[in-house]
Amino acid sequence: MKLDLPNKYQLSLKPPRSYQVFLNGTKRKGFHAPDTKVCPKLYVVLSGRDIHYVGITNRPMSARINYGLKARGKSGYHGYHWKNLKGGLNILVWAFPQNEERNLCEG
């Protein structure tokens, strides 16, 4: 499998438990396809050169980030440990919308 370059986003955390994301180097808000699709994704959250989180999801990135920022421990999940960091973060997202046999993204 060939690993394509990731989509790069700038992430600004906004209290309480909200965020704003821009495609790196543009003024385009939000996540963009295929990161908005239901398909396998690998994502890395960075602050400068420091890696704060590596995750995988099948969900659209906005749904996954919202879930991790808004969790309060009611079901045992307290959310991302980096959700209270100050300053800008970056997210790298590798999406795997298809393989040789079938399309893995829905919608």
Backbone angles phi, psi at 97, to 5 degrees: -70, -15
Output the average pLDDT for the chain.
87
- The model's pTM is 0.84
- Number of neighbours of residue 68 by Cβ within 10 angstroms: 21
SS3 of the chain = CCCCCCEEEEEEEECCCEEEEEECCCCCECCCCCCCCECCEEEEEEECCEEEEEEEECCCHHHHHHHHHHCCCCCCCCCCCCCCCCCCEEEEEEECCECCCCECCEC
| Local confidence band at 103 (pLDDT 50, 70, 90 cut-offs) | low
CA distance 3 to 18: 30
Q: Say which residue, 72 or 21, is predicted with more confidence.
A: 21
* pLDDT tens digits along 60-102: 999 999 999 998 888 899 999 988 888 789 999 999 877 545 5
Tokens 């046999």, residue located: 101
Six-digit token string for 82: 């980096």
Asked if the model's pLDDT at residue 5 lies above 70, the reply is yes
Which domains does the chain show, CATH number per domain? 7-95 (3.40.1440.50)
